[in-house]
Every structure is written in C-alpha cells, then in structure tokens.
Amino acid sequence: MNIKEIIDKEPIGQEIEIKGWVRTFRSNRFIALNDGSTVKNLQVVVDFENESEDTLKRITTGACLKIEGVVVESQGNGQTIELNSKMIEILGDSDPEEYPLQPKKHSMEFLREIAHLRPRTQTFGAIFRLRHALQFAVHKYFNDNGFFMVHTPIVTGSDAEGAGEMFRVSMLDPANPPKNEDGSINWKEDFFGKETNLTVSGQLEAELFALGLGKVYTFGPTFRAENSNTTRHLAEFWMIEPEVAFNDLFDNMDLAEDCLKYVIRYVIEQCGDDLNFLHERQLQEEKGLPEDKRSMPLLEKLKFVSENEFVRCSYTEAIDILRNSKPNKKKKFQYIIEEWGADLQSEHERYLVEKHFGKPVILYDYPASIKAFYMRLNEDGKTVRAMDILFPGIGEIVGGSQREERYDILKQKVADFGIEEESLWWYLETRKFGTCVHSGFGLGFERLINFVTGMTNIRDVIPFPRTPKNAEF
Ligand code: 4AD
Ligand code: MG
C-alpha cells in the first residue's frame, strides 16, 4: 500500500511496510512521511526506545526511509490515522546541513534553481499529479468522443505557422559546412537531404489525417525559438491539436469550449486533495493583498469557468470595446488601440476577459494580416475564420481556425506570405482531391495547467522548462 491507499482505506490494526521521504521530524517522535502518492503526509510515531541513537540522528528532512509498523487511530489532531513504528531503516545517505529543501517557505524562483529536487515539495507534487490527471482527461475526452490520436512528426521540413521561429536540426559540421558554388550552405548534404527543424505545431499533418480519418488529434511537444522571456512562453511546450473534417468555425468553438469544461470538471472531481491544497496556498499567498488585488479563489474560479458559457465576440466588436475603454482613453495601455487591424496584446486580452466580460471569451474573425496563412478567408476579403480563446489570468489559451480548403486561394496565400510552395506541396495537394470544410485548434497544455493550478509562471508547471538561455536540467 502507498500512503494514499493507507489514508483512504484506514486499515486500523494492520501491520504494513512503507517507504518514503521525511518532510519533517518533530520532538524525536513524529515523522511526516510522504511518498508522492498524495499531497497528504502519513504521521509516523517513532518508538524511540526501540531505535538506536544513530538512526534517530539520521531521520532528517529529506531522508529516505523504510518503516514497518502498525496502523492505529491517531491520538493527535490533524489526521485520523497514524503509523506506530516497529522498525525504521534509513535507505540512503542524506546530509541535513546541505539539503536545500528545509521545512519552510521557499520562493518559486529558488525552487526553479533546484528543479532536480522540487518534485519533493508539496506544491510541485500537487502540480504534477494534476498535470498527469489533465493529460489523462484530454485523452479520455477525445477517445470517448470518437477521435483518433495521430503522432505527428517532431522533425519537419516545413514551417506550420509561417513565422520562422524554429530550431534547426542538422548534422552538418558547424565549423566547416559543405557549400554551394554561390557560398550558401548546401543542405542537400545534411542528414535529411534538406533543411529541417523542430516542429512548431502538428496541425498541418493532423489536417492530412482528418481528411482521411475524420476526427483526429495530436498531443505532443512543440518548439518555438522566439525570444520571449515572459511568464506565458516556453521554448518547448506541449500542445493538444484536434482537427475535424466538416466542422466549421462555430463547431470548432463548441468543441474547444466543451473540451476545456470537461477536463476542468474532471480534475475537480478526481483531484480534490491537490486542488484544495493549491486553493489554500493561493489564499495564503494573497492574504496580504488589498481585496481588489486578490484573484478569484481557485476552486471558485474553476467552477465558474466550467459552469458558464464562454462569451463569443468578433474581433471588430472587440476593437470597438477596447477603443472606448478607460485604459485606452487614459493611455494606460502600453499599446494604444487606434485602428481596426491592430494586433491584440496580452494587456488587451486581459482587459476584455477580466474587466469587460468577466468570463472566458472566444474572439473570432480576425484581420487576415495578423493571422497564419492557412486560415479561411471570409467573404469580406479582409478577415479570416480564426478564433482565440482568452482565459482570466492567462490570456490566450487556445488558438484555432477554420482552414482554407480552396486550392487557388490557399496557393495565393502561401505565395503572399513568402512561403516556399515546394515545402508545402503535399499540404496544397489535399485541396485538389476531395477537399472539404474542416477546422481545428491548438490548446497550450502548460497554459491550461497554469490556469487549473493557479500558478502564475509557466515555468512552474512543466517538469524542466526550456526558455531563452536556460536548459540546465
Ligand atoms: O496560437 P498558436 O500558435 O496556434 C497554432 O500553433 C496552431 N497551429 C494550432 C492549431 O490550430 N492546430 O498556438 C496554440 C496555443 C496557444 O493558444 C497557446 O496556448 C499555446 O499554444 N502556445 C504556447 N504555450 C507556451 N509557450 C509558447 N511559446 C506558446 N506558444 C503558443
Ligand atoms: Mg495564437
């Protein structure tokens, strides 16, 4: 039995063996032991007359123990059961002087510097059990709804977003690469016989499969070499990308909204202990703040989002709202909204969600000029069937669209965006054979986890974050 099972089942009177790490050791008598199965600790009452001086000295925060004992009703407050120890074995050396995780509050910044040890803290235990549950809920949602998962490639020869922010994959000698006559690098001699990169999105390949299997999704790592040092950007992140034949933009919105609500409800039902812990943690963190600076308590926020309809608002309406907003008129925004066509910054997205609507918002029909080449052009000739879902405290959590399924228009867009048609010949060709309306979106997995856990920095919800100048662990 692990600690979760022991706490759930309360096997009073039973003799058990348990292994785990010491969180705290008080009065030479009470060990708070954790094995990662739950946010809760098992209280072990040490039979100190039975243990050697040496053993007692080595029971320190961070030490790894094997304990045999009997489960009994707890004499103290704070737990219903505890373990009376009969035998304690110290499993590995542990230097209490040097162990960086003392039982006190550590800053998230400090914990990022010891990312090899942070899985042993209560907070990161809770975050990563939730991360697991969320990925399981995502797979369950799509499986239960008749989707097939496709493993799209990680090494690609095309730029799915057309933004040129890719990490190169090459085996050429950087000091002495083979050259063409004109002095440029001869990529034909490279491993794949062409220029290749780490993918920024599995969408284009998912589209090919949607046009054969109907309803598919990918869930894999994606890579962006953009130099964004923010609390919302990673250079390596995980994205969930469904793609559905015959869905138009509004079906796409319904799918995204339903999926988000499902996975949030799933963790509310399945991960109560971890969510309660993070809820309390947030209340503690924000205790000192004035009331209007505090965020909505975590459990309330999750319930609110899973039970309320998302607002749907066109880009054009949003621009009107923003242009007439107080922070725009008083020049409080860093980027003042003047004209239709402006790209929305995260300050604008957050104003719409947190101040104006007070709910998640689906913005749609964006100007073609600020969105990717593959989005379907509207009849007005200037907007595309794009949608972004904006969440409180997060900003953009989903980006998606109805895809351009008309060959001539897509070919023109590829040219207009300065993309080499050669690299996308296979994508274009699907528009020649049995082309149809289809749509999909990308849900940033870490942004979802940030929302669900109430964390404020995306580096704290991925095991080992990759960001500019940082790939230590
Ligand atoms: O809006 P994006 O760039 O859309 C696409 O990549 C499309 N191909 C998706 C599709 O239609 N299949 O990215 C989608 C989502 C964003 O809304 C955001 O949640 C997340 O991916 N995202 C990032 N998350 C962390 N770090 C980054 N650098 C991210 N860039 C995007
Ligand atoms: Mg986007």
Same-domain pairing of 324 and 422: yes
405 dihedral zone (left: phi>0; alpha: psi -120 to 50; beta) = alpha
Asked if 351 contacts 344 with a C-beta cutoff of 8 angstroms, the reply is: no
Q: Which two tokens stand for residue 469?
A: 């100048």
Q: Is 236 in the pocket of ligand 1 (CB under 6 A)?
A: no
Q: Which two tokens stand for residue 312?
A: 């749907």
Question: CATH number for the domain including 298?
Answer: 3.30.930.10
Predicted pLDDT of residue 112: 96
Cα separation of 256 and 349, whole Å? 18
Identify whether 98 is part of a domain.
yes
Give the pLDDT mean for 445-459. Answer: 98
Question: What is the helix, strand, coil percentage profile of the chain, to 5?
Answer: 35, 25, 40
Q: Is 440 in the pocket of ligand 1 (CB under 6 A)?
A: yes
Same-domain pairing of 206 and 305: yes
Predicted pLDDT of residue 163: 82
Which ligand is nearest the CA of 238, by number?
1
Give the pLDDT mean for 291-316. Answer: 94
For residue 422, with 0-12 CB atoms within 10 Å meaning exposed, 13-18 middle and 19 or more buried, which class applies? exposed
Identify whether 447 is part of a domain.
yes
Centre of ligand 2 from the C-alpha of residue 373, in Å: 13
Cα separation of 42 and 36, whole Å? 11
The full DSSP string for 108-120 is HHHHHHTTTTGGG
Cα separation of 246 and 400, whole Å? 15
Q: Is 233 in the pocket of ligand 1 (CB under 6 A)?
A: yes
CA neighbours closer than 13 Å in the CB half-sphere of residue 228: 15
Same-domain pairing of 349 and 256: yes
Query: Of 3, 190, 152, which Cα lies nearest the Cα of 81?
Result: 3
Identify whether 381 is part of a domain.
yes
Minimum CA distance residue for ligand 1 atom 5: 442
Cα angle, residue 204 at apex, residues 387 and 427 outer, rounded to 5°: 120
Same-domain pairing of 301 and 410: yes
Range of the domain at 284: 120-165+200-460
Identify whether 430 is part of a domain.
yes
Determine the atom of ligand 1 nearest the C-alpha atom of 448.
19
For the chain, give the percent of residues with pLDDT over 70: 100
Domains: count for the chain? 2
Same-domain pairing of 99 and 161: no
Predicted pLDDT of residue 293: 86
Taking only the tens place, the pLDDT of each residue in 18-30 is 999 999 999 989 9
CB atoms within 10 A of CB 143: 12
Asked if 71 contacts 14 with a C-beta cutoff of 8 angstroms, the reply is: yes
Lowest mean pLDDT among 93-107, 300-314, 341-355, 412-426: 93-107
Determine the atom of ligand 1 nearest the C-alpha atom of 226.
28
Which ligand is nearest the CA of 401, by number?
1
Question: CATH number for the domain including 21?
Answer: 2.40.50.140
- How do beta strands 30-34 and 168-169 pair? unpaired
3-state class (DSSP) for residue 355: helix
Give the pLDDT mean for 179-196. Answer: 96
Taking only the tens place, the pLDDT of each residue in 352-406 is 999 999 999 999 999 999 999 999 999 999 999 999 999 999 999 999 999 999 9
Residue count of the chain: 473
Identify whether 279 is part of a domain.
yes
Q: Which two tokens stand for residue 29?
A: 């008598």
Predicted pLDDT of residue 104: 87
Cα separation of 284 and 452, whole Å? 17
Centre of ligand 2 from the C-alpha of residue 459, in Å: 19
Cα separation of 229 and 227, whole Å? 6
Please determine, for residue 291, whether its predicted confidence score (pLDDT) is greater than 90.
no
Q: Is 62 in the pocket of ligand 1 (CB under 6 A)?
A: no
Same-domain pairing of 125 and 86: no
Taking only the tens place, the pLDDT of each residue in 416-440 is 999 999 999 999 999 999 999 999 9
Predicted pLDDT of residue 49: 86
Identify whether 178 is part of a domain.
no
Predicted pLDDT of residue 234: 97
Same-domain pairing of 137 and 48: no
Minimum CA distance residue for ligand 1 atom 18: 444
Q: Which two tokens stand for residue 436?
A: 């149809």
Please determine, for residue 67, whether its predicted confidence score (pLDDT) is greater than 90.
yes
Please determine, for residue 36, whether its predicted confidence score (pLDDT) is greater than 90.
yes
Predicted pLDDT of residue 164: 81
Determine the atom of ligand 1 nearest the C-alpha atom of 163.
3
Please determine, for residue 50, whether its predicted confidence score (pLDDT) is greater than 90.
no
Same-domain pairing of 149 and 258: yes
- Please say whether the dihedral angle defined by the alpha carbons of residues 256, 262, 265 and 271, taken in this order, is positive or negative: negative
Cα separation of 228 and 233, whole Å? 6
Cα angle, residue 428 at apex, residues 247 and 435 outer, rounded to 5°: 40
Determine the atom of ligand 1 nearest the C-alpha atom of 224.
28
pLDDT band, residue 207 (cuts 50/70/90) = very high
For residue 185, with 0-12 CB atoms within 10 Å meaning exposed, 13-18 middle and 19 or more buried, which class applies? middle
Q: Which two tokens stand for residue 139?
A: 């797979």
Same-domain pairing of 276 and 378: yes
- How do beta strands 42-45 and 64-73 pair? unpaired
Q: Which residue has the higher pLDDT, 49 or 6?
A: 6
Asked if 464 contacts 473 with a C-beta cutoff of 8 angstroms, the reply is: yes
Identify whether 247 is part of a domain.
yes
- What average pLDDT does the structure give for the chain? 96
Please determine, for residue 103, whether its predicted confidence score (pLDDT) is greater than 90.
no
Please determine, for residue 335, whether its predicted confidence score (pLDDT) is greater than 90.
yes
Query: Of 438, 445, 473, which Cα lies nearest the Cα of 461?
Result: 445
Predicted pLDDT of residue 79: 87
pLDDT band, residue 94 (cuts 50/70/90) = confident
Taking only the tens place, the pLDDT of each residue in 214-236 is 999 999 999 999 998 999 999 99
Cα separation of 105 and 99, whole Å? 14
Q: Is 203 in the pocket of ligand 1 (CB under 6 A)?
A: yes
Query: Of 306, 318, 303, 438, which Cα lies nearest the Cα of 367?
Result: 318
Same-domain pairing of 56 and 97: yes
Q: Is 241 in the pocket of ligand 1 (CB under 6 A)?
A: yes
Which ligand is nearest the CA of 158, by number?
1
Which ligand is nearest the CA of 396, by number?
1
Give the pLDDT mean for 82-92. Answer: 96
Which ligand is nearest the CA of 439, by number?
1
Identify whether 274 is part of a domain.
yes
Minimum CA distance residue for ligand 1 atom 14: 442
Same-domain pairing of 444 and 420: yes
Q: Is 219 in the pocket of ligand 1 (CB under 6 A)?
A: no
Centre of ligand 2 from the C-alpha of residue 425, in Å: 24
Same-domain pairing of 290 and 338: yes
